[in-house]
Structure 1
Amino acid sequence: MCRKIIDAHIHLDMYEPVECVRILDDMEASNVDAVISVSNHLASARETIQLAHDNYRVKPAIGFHPEQPIASDEEVGDLLSMIDCHKEDIVAVGEVGLPFYLRREGKVSTREAYRETLEVFIQKAAELDKPIALHAIYDDAPVVCDLLEKYSAAKAHFHWFKGDKLTAERMVANGYFISVTPDILYEKETRDLAKEYPLGKMMVETDGPWPFGGIFSEEMTHPHMIHRSVYEVSALKRTSADEVYKRLYDNTCRFYEL
Protein backbone atom coordinates (compact mmCIF):
# COMPACT_ATOMS: atom_id res chain seq x y z
CA MET A 1 0.00 0.00 0.00
CA CYS A 2 1.24 3.50 -0.83
CA ARG A 3 0.96 5.27 2.50
CA LYS A 4 0.17 8.79 1.39
CA ILE A 5 -0.45 11.62 3.82
CA ILE A 6 -1.88 15.12 3.70
CA ASP A 7 -0.78 17.86 6.09
CA ALA A 8 -4.18 19.25 7.10
CA HIS A 9 -2.82 22.49 8.58
CA ILE A 10 0.46 24.27 7.85
CA HIS A 11 1.59 27.90 7.53
CA LEU A 12 3.75 27.40 4.47
CA ASP A 13 4.23 31.13 3.89
CA MET A 14 5.82 31.52 7.33
CA TYR A 15 8.85 29.39 6.48
CA GLU A 16 12.06 30.91 5.21
CA PRO A 17 12.09 30.72 1.39
CA VAL A 18 14.80 28.04 1.34
CA GLU A 19 12.84 25.96 3.87
CA CYS A 20 9.65 26.28 1.85
CA VAL A 21 11.45 25.12 -1.30
CA ARG A 22 12.87 22.16 0.60
CA ILE A 23 9.43 21.10 1.84
CA LEU A 24 7.89 21.34 -1.62
CA ASP A 25 10.81 19.51 -3.24
CA ASP A 26 10.57 16.72 -0.64
CA MET A 27 6.84 16.12 -0.94
CA GLU A 28 6.83 13.33 -3.50
CA ALA A 29 9.68 11.43 -1.84
CA SER A 30 7.95 11.85 1.55
CA ASN A 31 4.59 10.58 0.21
CA VAL A 32 3.01 13.94 1.03
CA ASP A 33 0.16 14.27 -1.42
CA ALA A 34 -0.89 17.80 -0.44
CA VAL A 35 -0.72 20.45 2.27
CA ILE A 36 -3.57 22.67 3.45
CA SER A 37 -1.78 26.00 3.71
CA VAL A 38 -3.68 28.45 5.90
CA SER A 39 -3.04 32.19 6.05
CA ASN A 40 -2.61 34.64 8.93
CA HIS A 41 -3.61 38.00 7.43
CA LEU A 42 -3.91 39.80 4.10
CA ALA A 43 -0.24 39.70 3.08
CA SER A 44 -0.05 36.07 4.18
CA ALA A 45 -3.13 35.21 2.12
CA ARG A 46 -1.60 36.78 -0.99
CA GLU A 47 1.61 34.80 -0.55
CA THR A 48 -0.31 31.59 0.09
CA ILE A 49 -2.34 32.05 -3.08
CA GLN A 50 0.90 32.53 -5.01
CA LEU A 51 2.41 29.39 -3.48
CA ALA A 52 -0.66 27.44 -4.58
CA HIS A 53 -0.42 28.92 -8.06
CA ASP A 54 3.19 27.75 -8.31
CA ASN A 55 2.65 24.24 -6.90
CA TYR A 56 -0.52 22.17 -7.28
CA ARG A 57 0.15 20.29 -4.03
CA VAL A 58 -0.44 23.48 -2.03
CA LYS A 59 -4.14 23.87 -1.20
CA PRO A 60 -4.75 27.43 0.05
CA ALA A 61 -7.05 28.87 2.70
CA ILE A 62 -7.71 32.55 3.40
CA GLY A 63 -8.34 33.93 6.88
CA PHE A 64 -7.10 36.01 9.80
CA HIS A 65 -5.26 34.33 12.67
CA PRO A 66 -6.56 35.58 16.04
CA GLU A 67 -3.29 35.52 17.99
CA GLN A 68 -2.32 39.01 16.82
CA PRO A 69 -3.74 42.56 17.09
CA ILE A 70 -7.30 42.66 15.80
CA ALA A 71 -7.72 43.29 12.07
CA SER A 72 -9.02 46.63 10.91
CA ASP A 73 -12.42 46.77 9.21
CA GLU A 74 -10.55 47.53 5.99
CA GLU A 75 -8.36 44.43 6.23
CA VAL A 76 -11.34 42.21 7.05
CA GLY A 77 -13.17 43.66 4.04
CA ASP A 78 -10.16 43.04 1.81
CA LEU A 79 -9.89 39.45 3.04
CA LEU A 80 -13.59 38.82 2.41
CA SER A 81 -13.25 40.26 -1.09
CA MET A 82 -10.21 38.06 -1.67
CA ILE A 83 -12.16 35.00 -0.54
CA ASP A 84 -14.90 35.86 -3.03
CA CYS A 85 -12.37 36.46 -5.79
CA HIS A 86 -10.60 33.15 -5.17
CA LYS A 87 -13.56 31.07 -4.06
CA GLU A 88 -12.89 28.50 -6.78
CA ASP A 89 -9.22 28.23 -5.82
CA ILE A 90 -9.30 28.09 -2.03
CA VAL A 91 -10.22 24.95 -0.12
CA ALA A 92 -11.26 26.73 3.09
CA VAL A 93 -11.69 29.89 5.08
CA GLY A 94 -8.91 29.99 7.64
CA GLU A 95 -7.14 30.19 9.87
CA VAL A 96 -9.66 32.04 12.01
CA GLY A 97 -10.71 31.85 15.64
CA LEU A 98 -10.30 33.45 19.07
CA PRO A 99 -7.16 34.72 20.88
CA PHE A 100 -6.72 32.32 23.78
CA TYR A 101 -2.97 32.88 24.25
CA LEU A 102 -3.15 36.67 23.93
CA ARG A 103 -5.82 36.71 26.63
CA ARG A 104 -3.83 34.38 28.87
CA GLU A 105 -0.79 36.66 28.54
CA GLY A 106 -2.89 39.71 29.36
CA LYS A 107 -2.30 41.31 25.97
CA VAL A 108 -6.02 41.28 25.16
CA SER A 109 -8.61 42.02 27.82
CA THR A 110 -11.68 40.82 25.92
CA ARG A 111 -12.35 38.58 22.97
CA GLU A 112 -15.50 40.42 21.87
CA ALA A 113 -13.95 42.24 18.88
CA TYR A 114 -12.32 38.96 17.79
CA ARG A 115 -15.63 37.15 18.19
CA GLU A 116 -17.31 39.69 15.92
CA THR A 117 -14.58 39.27 13.30
CA LEU A 118 -14.80 35.48 13.55
CA GLU A 119 -18.56 35.63 13.10
CA VAL A 120 -18.08 37.46 9.79
CA PHE A 121 -15.74 34.75 8.52
CA ILE A 122 -18.07 31.96 9.67
CA GLN A 123 -20.92 33.67 7.83
CA LYS A 124 -18.77 33.82 4.69
CA ALA A 125 -17.79 30.15 4.96
CA ALA A 126 -21.45 29.17 5.39
CA GLU A 127 -22.49 31.38 2.48
CA LEU A 128 -19.94 29.76 0.16
CA ASP A 129 -20.37 26.28 1.66
CA LYS A 130 -16.65 26.18 2.40
CA PRO A 131 -14.84 24.40 5.23
CA ILE A 132 -13.49 26.60 8.00
CA ALA A 133 -10.12 26.02 9.72
CA LEU A 134 -10.33 27.06 13.36
CA HIS A 135 -8.04 28.16 16.17
CA ALA A 136 -10.38 27.56 19.10
CA ILE A 137 -9.16 25.91 22.29
CA TYR A 138 -10.21 25.48 25.91
CA ASP A 139 -12.91 28.00 26.94
CA ASP A 140 -12.96 29.55 23.44
CA ALA A 141 -14.18 26.34 21.82
CA PRO A 142 -17.78 26.45 23.16
CA VAL A 143 -18.10 30.06 21.99
CA VAL A 144 -17.02 29.00 18.51
CA CYS A 145 -19.41 26.06 18.57
CA ASP A 146 -22.23 28.52 19.35
CA LEU A 147 -21.33 30.59 16.27
CA LEU A 148 -21.02 27.55 14.02
CA GLU A 149 -24.44 26.33 15.14
CA LYS A 150 -25.92 29.80 14.66
CA TYR A 151 -25.01 29.76 10.97
CA SER A 152 -25.37 26.00 10.43
CA ALA A 153 -21.69 25.90 9.44
CA ALA A 154 -21.12 22.17 9.65
CA LYS A 155 -17.77 21.98 7.83
CA ALA A 156 -15.61 22.88 10.82
CA HIS A 157 -12.02 21.80 11.44
CA PHE A 158 -10.67 22.47 14.95
CA HIS A 159 -6.94 22.23 14.37
CA TRP A 160 -4.71 21.10 17.27
CA PHE A 161 -7.77 21.06 19.51
CA LYS A 162 -7.45 21.26 23.29
CA GLY A 163 -10.50 21.33 25.50
CA ASP A 164 -12.80 19.60 27.93
CA LYS A 165 -14.62 16.33 27.37
CA LEU A 166 -18.07 17.93 27.18
CA THR A 167 -16.99 20.27 24.37
CA ALA A 168 -15.33 17.41 22.51
CA GLU A 169 -18.56 15.41 22.75
CA ARG A 170 -20.49 18.40 21.40
CA MET A 171 -18.06 18.64 18.48
CA VAL A 172 -18.46 14.94 17.72
CA ALA A 173 -22.26 15.27 17.81
CA ASN A 174 -22.06 18.17 15.34
CA GLY A 175 -19.75 16.25 13.02
CA TYR A 176 -16.79 18.60 13.44
CA PHE A 177 -13.28 17.44 12.56
CA ILE A 178 -10.08 17.72 14.57
CA SER A 179 -6.44 17.23 13.62
CA VAL A 180 -3.51 16.16 15.76
CA THR A 181 0.11 17.28 15.50
CA PRO A 182 3.39 15.41 16.08
CA ASP A 183 3.06 16.22 19.78
CA ILE A 184 0.88 13.12 19.90
CA LEU A 185 4.16 11.27 20.44
CA TYR A 186 4.71 12.86 23.84
CA GLU A 187 1.79 15.06 24.94
CA LYS A 188 -0.77 13.29 27.14
CA GLU A 189 -3.57 15.75 26.33
CA THR A 190 -3.24 15.07 22.60
CA ARG A 191 -2.91 11.32 23.13
CA ASP A 192 -6.05 11.20 25.29
CA LEU A 193 -8.02 13.18 22.70
CA ALA A 194 -6.85 10.90 19.89
CA LYS A 195 -7.98 7.84 21.83
CA GLU A 196 -11.48 9.20 22.33
CA TYR A 197 -12.27 11.14 19.16
CA PRO A 198 -13.76 9.08 16.30
CA LEU A 199 -11.20 8.13 13.68
CA GLY A 200 -13.72 9.08 10.99
CA LYS A 201 -13.53 12.72 12.13
CA MET A 202 -9.76 13.01 12.49
CA MET A 203 -6.96 14.42 10.36
CA VAL A 204 -3.23 14.96 10.93
CA GLU A 205 -1.21 18.16 10.67
CA THR A 206 2.06 19.85 11.57
CA ASP A 207 1.01 23.48 12.12
CA GLY A 208 4.49 24.19 10.78
CA PRO A 209 6.71 26.02 11.21
CA TRP A 210 5.71 25.59 14.87
CA PRO A 211 8.53 23.49 16.44
CA PHE A 212 8.09 20.22 18.34
CA GLY A 213 9.89 18.45 21.13
CA GLY A 214 10.75 14.85 21.80
CA ILE A 215 12.41 13.14 18.86
CA PHE A 216 11.76 16.27 16.77
CA SER A 217 13.69 18.67 19.03
CA GLU A 218 15.78 21.19 17.08
CA GLU A 219 14.40 19.83 13.79
CA MET A 220 12.61 22.01 11.27
CA THR A 221 8.94 21.08 11.26
CA HIS A 222 8.30 19.13 8.06
CA PRO A 223 5.19 17.28 6.83
CA HIS A 224 7.12 13.99 6.83
CA MET A 225 6.76 14.05 10.64
CA ILE A 226 3.12 13.12 10.11
CA HIS A 227 4.11 9.53 9.31
CA ARG A 228 5.14 9.11 12.95
CA SER A 229 1.85 10.68 14.03
CA VAL A 230 -0.10 8.17 11.96
CA TYR A 231 1.69 5.23 13.56
CA GLU A 232 0.96 6.69 16.99
CA VAL A 233 -2.74 7.06 16.14
CA SER A 234 -2.66 3.46 14.94
CA ALA A 235 -1.25 2.28 18.27
CA LEU A 236 -3.66 4.38 20.35
CA LYS A 237 -6.67 3.26 18.31
CA ARG A 238 -5.46 -0.35 18.17
CA THR A 239 -6.14 -0.27 14.44
CA SER A 240 -3.79 -1.35 11.66
CA ALA A 241 -1.50 1.31 10.26
CA ASP A 242 -2.79 0.63 6.74
CA GLU A 243 -6.36 1.31 7.86
CA VAL A 244 -5.40 4.49 9.76
CA TYR A 245 -3.42 5.83 6.80
CA LYS A 246 -6.39 5.24 4.53
CA ARG A 247 -8.97 6.72 6.90
CA LEU A 248 -6.99 9.87 7.69
CA TYR A 249 -6.17 10.46 4.03
CA ASP A 250 -9.76 9.88 2.93
CA ASN A 251 -11.09 12.08 5.74
CA THR A 252 -8.93 15.00 4.62
CA CYS A 253 -9.77 14.55 0.94
CA ARG A 254 -13.47 14.41 1.72
CA PHE A 255 -13.49 17.32 4.15
CA TYR A 256 -11.47 19.66 1.95
CA GLU A 257 -12.92 18.30 -1.31
CA LEU A 258 -9.48 17.55 -2.76
Structure 2
Amino acid sequence: MIKVIDAHIHLDMYTERDATTLLSELAEYHIEGLLAVSRHLDSCMSTERLLKQAPEQVFAAYGYHPEQELPTEKQLNDLIEWIRERSSTMVAVGEIGLPYYMRLETEAEGRAFELAPYIVLLESFLKLAVSLDKPVVLHAVYEDADVVCDLLEKHGIKKAHFHWFKGSHSTVERMIQVGYFISITPDVLYEEEIRSLVRDYPITLLMVETDGPWPFEGPFEGQQTHPRMIHAVIEQIALLKDLPVEEAALTLLNNTKRFYDIPSPHLF
Protein backbone atom coordinates (compact mmCIF):
# COMPACT_ATOMS: atom_id res chain seq x y z
CA MET A 1 0.00 0.00 0.00
CA ILE A 2 1.33 3.44 -0.98
CA LYS A 3 1.84 5.75 1.96
CA VAL A 4 -0.24 8.91 2.29
CA ILE A 5 -0.01 12.31 3.97
CA ASP A 6 -2.90 14.03 5.72
CA ALA A 7 -2.44 17.51 4.29
CA HIS A 8 -4.54 19.36 6.90
CA ILE A 9 -5.25 18.36 10.50
CA HIS A 10 -5.69 20.28 13.76
CA LEU A 11 -3.59 17.87 15.79
CA ASP A 12 -3.52 20.26 18.73
CA MET A 13 -7.32 20.06 19.07
CA TYR A 14 -7.23 16.38 20.00
CA THR A 15 -6.74 15.53 23.65
CA GLU A 16 -3.12 14.89 24.51
CA ARG A 17 -3.88 11.20 24.93
CA ASP A 18 -5.73 10.93 21.62
CA ALA A 19 -3.01 12.84 19.75
CA THR A 20 -0.32 10.54 21.18
CA THR A 21 -2.35 7.47 20.25
CA LEU A 22 -3.01 8.80 16.76
CA LEU A 23 0.69 9.43 16.16
CA SER A 24 1.56 5.94 17.37
CA GLU A 25 -0.88 4.42 14.86
CA LEU A 26 0.32 6.22 11.73
CA ALA A 27 2.72 3.50 10.58
CA GLU A 28 0.03 0.84 11.02
CA TYR A 29 -2.24 2.75 8.64
CA HIS A 30 0.51 3.67 6.16
CA ILE A 31 0.32 7.37 7.02
CA GLU A 32 3.69 8.95 6.29
CA GLY A 33 2.96 12.27 7.94
CA LEU A 34 0.54 14.99 8.98
CA LEU A 35 0.42 18.65 8.01
CA ALA A 36 -0.50 20.10 11.41
CA VAL A 37 -2.00 23.59 11.16
CA SER A 38 -2.45 26.09 13.99
CA ARG A 39 -5.09 28.62 15.11
CA HIS A 40 -3.39 31.18 17.41
CA LEU A 41 -0.28 31.47 19.56
CA ASP A 42 -1.26 28.85 22.15
CA SER A 43 -2.26 26.54 19.31
CA CYS A 44 1.07 27.16 17.57
CA MET A 45 2.90 26.26 20.77
CA SER A 46 0.91 23.04 21.06
CA THR A 47 1.69 22.19 17.46
CA GLU A 48 5.37 22.79 18.13
CA ARG A 49 5.26 20.40 21.10
CA LEU A 50 3.70 17.73 18.88
CA LEU A 51 6.35 18.38 16.24
CA LYS A 52 9.06 17.78 18.83
CA GLN A 53 7.25 14.65 19.97
CA ALA A 54 7.15 13.18 16.45
CA PRO A 55 9.55 15.13 14.22
CA GLU A 56 9.50 12.48 11.49
CA GLN A 57 5.71 12.54 11.22
CA VAL A 58 4.50 16.06 12.01
CA PHE A 59 5.00 18.92 9.54
CA ALA A 60 4.08 22.19 11.24
CA ALA A 61 2.21 25.23 9.93
CA TYR A 62 1.75 28.27 12.13
CA GLY A 63 -0.88 30.97 11.76
CA TYR A 64 -4.14 32.52 13.02
CA HIS A 65 -7.45 30.93 12.07
CA PRO A 66 -9.92 33.55 10.78
CA GLU A 67 -13.08 32.08 12.34
CA GLN A 68 -12.49 33.80 15.70
CA GLU A 69 -12.22 37.25 17.22
CA LEU A 70 -9.47 39.48 15.89
CA PRO A 71 -6.20 39.47 17.84
CA THR A 72 -5.03 42.62 19.57
CA GLU A 73 -2.08 44.40 18.01
CA LYS A 74 0.21 42.97 20.70
CA GLN A 75 -1.14 39.44 20.21
CA LEU A 76 -0.58 39.71 16.48
CA ASN A 77 2.93 41.09 16.85
CA ASP A 78 3.85 38.43 19.41
CA LEU A 79 2.53 35.67 17.13
CA ILE A 80 4.32 36.95 14.04
CA GLU A 81 7.59 37.27 15.96
CA TRP A 82 7.14 33.76 17.38
CA ILE A 83 6.60 32.39 13.88
CA ARG A 84 9.61 34.23 12.46
CA GLU A 85 11.82 32.62 15.08
CA ARG A 86 10.69 29.16 13.92
CA SER A 87 10.88 29.59 10.16
CA SER A 88 13.45 26.82 9.81
CA THR A 89 11.25 24.17 11.45
CA MET A 90 7.90 25.03 9.83
CA VAL A 91 6.65 24.13 6.37
CA ALA A 92 3.95 26.78 5.88
CA VAL A 93 2.03 29.75 7.24
CA GLY A 94 -1.45 28.64 8.24
CA GLU A 95 -4.21 28.28 8.84
CA ILE A 96 -5.11 31.76 7.67
CA GLY A 97 -7.93 33.21 5.59
CA LEU A 98 -11.32 34.91 5.95
CA PRO A 99 -14.20 34.25 8.40
CA TYR A 100 -16.95 33.04 6.05
CA TYR A 101 -18.97 30.98 8.54
CA MET A 102 -18.68 33.42 11.43
CA ARG A 103 -19.81 36.21 9.11
CA LEU A 104 -22.86 34.21 8.01
CA GLU A 105 -23.84 33.49 11.62
CA THR A 106 -23.42 37.12 12.63
CA GLU A 107 -25.48 38.41 9.72
CA ALA A 108 -28.16 35.75 10.32
CA GLU A 109 -28.56 37.22 13.80
CA GLY A 110 -29.22 40.61 12.22
CA ARG A 111 -25.89 42.13 13.20
CA ALA A 112 -23.42 43.79 10.85
CA PHE A 113 -20.05 42.16 10.28
CA GLU A 114 -16.98 44.18 9.40
CA LEU A 115 -14.78 42.15 7.04
CA ALA A 116 -12.13 44.80 6.36
CA PRO A 117 -10.11 44.17 9.56
CA TYR A 118 -9.89 40.47 8.70
CA ILE A 119 -8.54 41.34 5.27
CA VAL A 120 -5.88 43.49 6.95
CA LEU A 121 -5.07 40.56 9.28
CA LEU A 122 -4.80 38.16 6.35
CA GLU A 123 -2.47 40.51 4.51
CA SER A 124 -0.19 40.59 7.56
CA PHE A 125 0.25 36.83 7.25
CA LEU A 126 0.59 36.89 3.47
CA LYS A 127 3.42 39.40 3.86
CA LEU A 128 4.97 37.14 6.50
CA ALA A 129 4.78 34.15 4.15
CA VAL A 130 6.48 36.12 1.40
CA SER A 131 9.25 37.25 3.73
CA LEU A 132 9.83 33.68 4.95
CA ASP A 133 9.41 32.15 1.47
CA LYS A 134 6.74 29.75 2.74
CA PRO A 135 3.51 28.51 1.17
CA VAL A 136 0.17 29.45 2.73
CA VAL A 137 -2.65 27.24 4.03
CA LEU A 138 -5.98 28.95 3.43
CA HIS A 139 -9.47 28.91 4.87
CA ALA A 140 -11.37 30.66 2.07
CA VAL A 141 -14.60 29.38 0.54
CA TYR A 142 -17.25 30.60 -1.90
CA GLU A 143 -17.05 34.37 -2.54
CA ASP A 144 -14.26 34.76 0.01
CA ALA A 145 -12.01 32.71 -2.26
CA ASP A 146 -12.15 35.39 -4.94
CA VAL A 147 -11.10 38.05 -2.42
CA VAL A 148 -8.22 35.83 -1.32
CA CYS A 149 -7.19 35.14 -4.91
CA ASP A 150 -6.96 38.90 -5.46
CA LEU A 151 -4.76 39.22 -2.37
CA LEU A 152 -2.53 36.35 -3.42
CA GLU A 153 -1.99 38.01 -6.78
CA LYS A 154 -1.35 41.37 -5.09
CA HIS A 155 1.42 39.85 -2.98
CA GLY A 156 2.81 37.60 -5.72
CA ILE A 157 2.07 34.35 -3.88
CA LYS A 158 1.96 31.28 -6.12
CA LYS A 159 2.09 28.46 -3.55
CA ALA A 160 -1.38 28.53 -2.01
CA HIS A 161 -3.31 25.58 -0.57
CA PHE A 162 -7.06 26.11 -0.15
CA HIS A 163 -8.15 23.44 2.30
CA TRP A 164 -11.69 21.96 2.15
CA PHE A 165 -12.43 24.36 -0.69
CA LYS A 166 -15.92 25.08 -2.02
CA GLY A 167 -16.71 27.67 -4.66
CA SER A 168 -18.29 28.67 -7.93
CA HIS A 169 -17.28 27.29 -11.30
CA SER A 170 -15.68 30.60 -12.25
CA THR A 171 -13.61 30.63 -9.06
CA VAL A 172 -12.55 27.04 -9.64
CA GLU A 173 -11.43 27.90 -13.17
CA ARG A 174 -9.51 30.90 -11.90
CA MET A 175 -7.71 28.84 -9.27
CA ILE A 176 -6.84 26.10 -11.75
CA GLN A 177 -5.39 28.63 -14.17
CA VAL A 178 -3.09 30.04 -11.51
CA GLY A 179 -2.16 26.61 -10.16
CA TYR A 180 -3.51 26.83 -6.62
CA PHE A 181 -3.92 23.55 -4.74
CA ILE A 182 -7.01 22.29 -2.94
CA SER A 183 -7.42 19.32 -0.60
CA ILE A 184 -10.28 16.84 -0.41
CA THR A 185 -11.90 15.63 2.81
CA PRO A 186 -13.80 12.43 3.69
CA ASP A 187 -17.11 14.05 2.76
CA VAL A 188 -16.21 13.26 -0.86
CA LEU A 189 -17.83 9.91 -0.11
CA TYR A 190 -21.27 11.46 0.36
CA GLU A 191 -21.32 15.14 -0.70
CA GLU A 192 -22.05 15.71 -4.40
CA GLU A 193 -20.63 19.24 -4.24
CA ILE A 194 -17.23 17.83 -3.31
CA ARG A 195 -17.49 14.95 -5.78
CA SER A 196 -18.21 17.41 -8.59
CA LEU A 197 -15.22 19.50 -7.52
CA VAL A 198 -12.96 16.46 -7.75
CA ARG A 199 -14.20 15.75 -11.26
CA ASP A 200 -13.40 19.31 -12.34
CA TYR A 201 -10.07 19.91 -10.58
CA PRO A 202 -6.85 18.42 -12.04
CA ILE A 203 -5.43 15.66 -9.88
CA THR A 204 -2.04 17.33 -10.27
CA LEU A 205 -3.40 20.13 -8.05
CA LEU A 206 -5.07 17.94 -5.42
CA MET A 207 -4.13 16.82 -1.91
CA VAL A 208 -6.10 14.86 0.69
CA GLU A 209 -6.95 15.87 4.27
CA THR A 210 -9.15 15.08 7.25
CA ASP A 211 -9.35 18.50 8.96
CA GLY A 212 -9.51 16.40 12.13
CA PRO A 213 -10.89 16.36 14.68
CA TRP A 214 -13.82 17.76 12.67
CA PRO A 215 -16.37 14.89 12.51
CA PHE A 216 -17.81 13.42 9.32
CA GLU A 217 -21.05 11.73 8.35
CA GLY A 218 -21.89 8.90 5.96
CA PRO A 219 -19.67 5.86 6.56
CA PHE A 220 -17.73 7.82 9.20
CA GLU A 221 -20.75 8.70 11.35
CA GLY A 222 -19.91 8.47 15.05
CA GLN A 223 -16.19 7.89 14.48
CA GLN A 224 -13.39 10.07 15.78
CA THR A 225 -11.71 11.58 12.73
CA HIS A 226 -8.43 9.77 12.05
CA PRO A 227 -5.88 10.07 9.21
CA ARG A 228 -6.65 6.46 8.25
CA MET A 229 -9.81 7.86 6.59
CA ILE A 230 -7.51 9.30 3.92
CA HIS A 231 -7.35 5.92 2.18
CA ALA A 232 -11.10 5.97 1.53
CA VAL A 233 -10.78 9.52 0.21
CA ILE A 234 -8.08 8.43 -2.25
CA GLU A 235 -10.21 5.50 -3.42
CA GLN A 236 -13.06 7.90 -4.19
CA ILE A 237 -10.80 10.31 -6.03
CA ALA A 238 -9.44 7.42 -8.10
CA LEU A 239 -13.00 6.32 -8.90
CA LEU A 240 -14.10 9.83 -9.88
CA LYS A 241 -10.98 10.34 -11.98
CA ASP A 242 -11.14 6.85 -13.52
CA LEU A 243 -7.61 6.08 -12.36
CA PRO A 244 -6.00 3.08 -10.66
CA VAL A 245 -5.95 3.65 -6.90
CA GLU A 246 -2.17 3.22 -6.75
CA GLU A 247 -1.63 5.87 -9.42
CA ALA A 248 -3.95 8.34 -7.70
CA ALA A 249 -2.33 7.69 -4.31
CA LEU A 250 1.18 8.25 -5.62
CA THR A 251 0.19 11.44 -7.43
CA LEU A 252 -1.50 12.86 -4.33
CA LEU A 253 1.44 11.93 -2.12
CA ASN A 254 3.99 13.51 -4.43
CA ASN A 255 1.83 16.62 -4.90
CA THR A 256 1.90 17.16 -1.14
CA LYS A 257 5.62 16.56 -0.81
CA ARG A 258 6.52 18.91 -3.63
CA PHE A 259 4.16 21.64 -2.46
CA TYR A 260 5.40 21.61 1.13
CA ASP A 261 9.01 20.91 0.24
CA ILE A 262 9.10 18.07 2.75
CA PRO A 263 12.73 17.36 3.67
CA SER A 264 14.66 14.57 2.01
CA PRO A 265 14.32 12.02 4.87
CA HIS A 266 10.59 11.89 4.01
CA LEU A 267 10.94 11.65 0.25
CA PHE A 268 9.14 8.70 -1.29
Please confirm whether the aligned pair reaches a TM-score higher than 0.5, indicating the same fold: yes
Select which of 185, 194, 199 maps to 1:195.
199
Instruction: Write the distance in 1 (CA, Å) between the matches of 2:131 and 2:16.
Output: 35
For 2:51, give the aligned amino acid: A
Query: Which residue matches 1:248?
Result: 252
Query: Which residue matches 1:19?
Result: 18
**TM value normalised by structure 2:** 0.94
1:216-227 equivalences in 2 (<5 Å): 216-227=220-231
1:73: Cα distance to partner?
1.2
For 1:214, give the aligned amino acid: G
Instruction: Write the distance in 2 (CA, Å) between the matches of 1:172 and 1:219.
Output: 33
Unaligned runs of 5+ in 1: none
Query: Which residue matches 1:50?
Result: 49
Instruction: Write the distance in 1 (CA, Å) between the matches of 2:240 and 2:71.
Output: 40
Instruction: Write the distance in 1 (CA, Å) between the matches of 2:85 and 2:138.
Output: 21
Structure 1 stretches of at least 4 aligned residues deviating more than 2 Å after TM superposition: none
CA shift digits 1:192-224 (9 cap, x unpaired): 001110100000000000000001001000000
Instruction: Write the distance in 1 (CA, Å) between the matches of 2:129 and 2:197.
Output: 26
For 1:202, give the aligned amino acid: L
Answer yes or no: is 1:182 the counterpart of 2:171. Answer: no
Instruction: Write the distance in 2 (CA, Å) between the matches of 1:127 and 1:147.
Output: 15
Q: What secondary structure, in the 3-state scheme, does the structure 2 residue paired with 1:40 have?
A: coil
Instruction: Write the distance in 1 (CA, Å) between the matches of 2:77 and 2:178.
Output: 29
CA shift digits 1:171-204 (9 cap, x unpaired): 1111100001000000011100011101000000
For 1:58, give the aligned amino acid: V
For 2:92, give the aligned amino acid: A
1:137: Cα distance to partner?
0.3
For 1:25, give the aligned amino acid: S
Aligned-residue identity in percent: 46
Answer yes or no: is 1:4 the counterpart of 2:3. Answer: yes
Answer yes or no: is 1:89 the counterpart of 2:89. Answer: yes
Query: Which residue matches 2:123?
Result: 119
Q: What secondary structure, in the 3-state scheme, does the structure 1 residue paired with 2:87 have?
A: coil
Instruction: Write the distance in 1 (CA, Å) between the matches of 2:98 and 2:117.
Output: 10
Instruction: Write the distance in 2 (CA, Å) between the matches of 1:85 and 1:148.
Output: 24
Instruction: Write the distance in 1 (CA, Å) between the matches of 2:31 and 2:140.
Output: 26
